Amino acid sequence: MASLKIDKKPVAVPQPKKLSLMKKVKRDWQLLLILLPGLIFYIIFRYGPMYGMVIAFKDYNVYKGIINSPWVGLKHFRNFFTDPAFIKLFRNTFMLGIYNLFFTFPFPILFAILLNEIRNIKFKKAVQTASYLPSFLSIVIISSMVIDFLSPSNGIINNIIAFLGMEKIYFMIRPEWFRTVYVASEVWARMGFDAILFIAAITGIDQALYEAAELDGCGRLKKMWYITIPSILPTIATLFILKSGSVFRIGFEKVLLLYNPATYEVADIFATYVYRKGFEDMNYSYAAAVGLFESIVALTMLLITNAISKKLSEQSIW
For 149-177, how does the pLDDT look when each residue is reduced to its tens digit (9 = 90+)?
Answer: 998 888 899 999 998 888 888 898 899 99
pLDDT for position 7: 53
In order of start, what are the domains of the chain with their CATH numbers?
Answer: 54-77+87-135+177-313 (1.10.3720.10)
User: Which residues of the chain have a pLDDT value below 70?
Assistant: 1-16, 313-318
pLDDT for position 262: 87
pLDDT for position 1: 47
pLDDT for position 8: 55
For 199-255, how does the pLDDT look when each residue is reduced to its tens digit (9 = 90+)?
Answer: 888 988 888 888 888 888 888 888 888 888 888 988 888 888 878 877 777 877 888
For 298, residues 6+ apart whose C-beta sits below 8 A from its C-beta are 245, 246, 247, 248, 249
pTM of the model: 0.79
